[in-house]
Amino acid sequence: MGFFPAQIGLQTVMALIVQKYGGTSVANPERIKKVAERVARFRAQGHQLVVVVSAMSGETDRLIKLAKEIQAQPDPRELDVMISTGEQVTIGMLAMALIERGIPAKSYTGSQVRILTDEAHTKARILEIDEQRMRADLDAGKVVVVAGFQGSTEEGDITTLGRGGSDTTGVALAAALKADECQIYTDVDGVYTTDPRIVPEARRLETITFEEMLEMASLGSKVLQIRSVEFAGKYKVKLRVLSSFEDKNDGTLITFEENTNMEQPIISGIAFNRDEAKLSLLGVPDRPGIAYGILAPVGQANVDVDMIIQNIGVDGSTDFSFTVHRNDYQKTLDLLNNTIKPETGAREVRGDNKICKVSLVGVGMRSHAGVASKMFKTLSEEGINIQMISTSEIKISVVIDEKYMELAVRALHKAFGLDSATPPAKG
């Protein structure tokens, strides 16, 4: 691998690097041996390494399915006991693969490291990391292998960090150890303008700003778990996304400075998300307190609301729509029909769980007008109806019918000059 370390920005002097390998990168013994090979190369260059691994691809899904065969709504504490096992297998395997190559290595589960989390089983947050054991091993010349996705509570109960949580383990360890760089190795060679599985013309970005990455992750690009990006921002971790399958480039660096290059495209990326559902309450009395009357019970039922739209009132009544995670659709629909509709005196409840959200993201939007109108024009030319719109400084999201998602993403990718064959849009 020619690019490291000179081009990647690390000194030839010893650096402390945290590397995280996702499910497809440790999918079988051969892939795990490949990981050990890369780790060995970095170590031979004099670097200290902490390696975080996910479960083998498909394993976490398999375990969740198994749990559901026992309990339709698995007990969260016990589910964490089960689904954390996937990573315990791969840390042992990787440590063995390293030892087999003659490299001293030691594996740790989250609780052995002492990755302390809160008690929110299946979506726990990291509170504190004890880096002493890892530091001692590194000083003794060992490679430290840590299970991603898991931690433990003050009481010693096993917790998990939410799907995709190994990214967060990686970045959190890098922050705790003040590592020189955190490298997220996956099955694509960086962050692309959009998911390359949906748009083959998608381009790899050399850099993306932290703010843009945060939006992309929160709007559905699962290449990095959002919490890992939040951690990187909070602790200024140097974060890079790279391929574990090929070493031909430097991947994508998440930067903390905005690129002031005038040629910088206005839109950096397009994110999409199929996990949402829309609910509407029609003919609600238009009076103070109505939004609270609708959304307070929804919040009390532990349902997070994303977009909200309230129409202008006509003749004393209005329509109110909002989106929730698709998993919460039925629960929210029942709540609207059984409780909120009678309490508010609304005329009708409507629901649609076949929607998706498509979002344009780019810091360039701050200084350029016309992005929204170009987006709406592009969608109208494809005959796609927009159901909801929401904007912030650096993003525009629309809700559309799920069946047009790919068409919309492709059309927008082209219209905004993101396709690999075309030059970036300038205005």
Q: Is 362 in the site for ligand ASP (CB under 6 A)?
A: no
Axis crossing angle, helix 85-100 with helix 59-70, rounded to the nearest 10: 150
φ, ψ of residue 61 to 5 degrees: the values are -60, -45
Tell me the residue number closest to ligand ADP, measured at CB: 22
CB-based burial label for 61 (10 Å; 0-12, 13-18, 19+): middle
Binds ligand ASP (CB under 6 A): choice among 4, 19, 21, 23: 23
Q: Which of residues 181-240 bind Mg ion (CB under 5 A)?
A: none
Q: Which does 221 bind (CB under 5 to 8 A by kind): ligand ASP, ligand ADP, Mg ion, none?
A: ligand ADP
Q: Which does 78 bind (CB under 5 to 8 A by kind): Mg ion, ligand ASP, ligand ADP, none?
A: none
- Span of 53-61, 103-111, 268-276, 410-418 interacting with ligand ASP by CB under 6 A: 53-61
Binds ligand ADP (CB under 6 A): choice among 137, 180, 181, 195: 195
* Nearest-approach distance from CB 49 to ligand ADP, in angstroms: 18
On whether the CB atoms of residues 54 and 26 are closer than 8 A, the answer is yes
d(Cα 172, Cα 175) in Å, to the nearest integer?
5
- Span of 36-44, 52-60, 139-147, 180-188 interacting with ligand ASP by CB under 6 A: 52-60
My answer on whether omega of the bond before 104 falls inside 30° of 0, hence cis, is no
DSSP one-letter string for 290-341: HHHHHHHHHHHTTPPEEEEEEPPPBTTEEEEEEEEEGGGHHHHHHHIIIIIH
Tokens representing residue 76 in the block = 């969260």
Please tell me whether residue 222 adopts helix, strand or coil conformation.
coil
d(Cα 113, Cα 140) in Å, to the nearest integer?
16
Binds Mg ion (CB under 5 A): choice among 148, 164, 165, 220: 164
DSSP one-letter string for 45-59: TT-EEEEEE-PPTTH
- Contact string 221-250 vs ligand ADP (x = CB under 6 A): xxx---------------------------
Axis crossing angle, helix 166-177 with helix 226-235, rounded to the nearest 10: 10
Please work out the total of residues on this chain that contact ligand ADP, with binding judged by CB under 6 A: 19
Tell me the residue number closest to Mg ion, measured at CB: 164
Beta strands in 140-238 (DSSP E): 143-147, 150-152, 158-160, 181-186, 207-209
Task: Check the CA dihedral 28-29-35-37 and report its sign.
Answer: negative
Q: How far is CA 388 from CA 92, 128, 203, 376, 399, in A?
A: 48, 40, 28, 12, 5
Q: Which of residues 80-119 bind ligand ASP (CB under 6 A)?
A: 86
CB nearer to ligand ASP: pick between 147 and 290: 147
CB nearer to ligand ADP: pick between 36 and 205: 205
Beta strands in 224-275 (DSSP E): 239-243, 252-255, 269-273
- Contact string 16-55 vs ligand ADP (x = CB under 6 A): ------xxxx----------------------------x-
Binds ligand ADP (CB under 6 A): choice among 5, 74, 151, 164: 164
CB nearer to ligand ADP: pick between 215 and 319: 215
- Span of 8-16, 122-130, 157-165, 193-201 interacting with ligand ASP by CB under 6 A: 157-165
Binds ligand ASP (CB under 6 A): choice among 4, 149, 322, 416: 149
Q: Is 22 in the site for ligand ASP (CB under 6 A)?
A: yes
- Span of 169-177, 215-223, 295-303, 400-408 interacting with ligand ADP by CB under 6 A: 215-223
Axis crossing angle, helix 210-218 with helix 226-235, rounded to the nearest 10: 160
Q: How far is CA 74 from CA 83, 122, 149, 328, 386, in A?
A: 11, 11, 18, 16, 37
CB nearer to ligand ADP: pick between 23 and 293: 23
- Contact string 123-162 vs ligand ADP (x = CB under 6 A): ----------------------------------------
In 10 A of CB 76, how many CB atoms?
Answer: 16
CB-based burial label for 412 (10 Å; 0-12, 13-18, 19+): buried
* Nearest-approach distance from CB 322 to ligand ASP, in angstroms: 27
Q: Is 269 in the site for ligand ASP (CB under 6 A)?
A: no
Residues that bind Mg ion (CB under 5 A): 22, 164
Residues that bind ligand ADP (CB under 6 A): 22-25, 54, 164, 186-188, 191-192, 194-197, 221-223, 269
Residues that bind ligand ASP (CB under 6 A): 22-23, 54-55, 60, 86, 148-149, 163-167
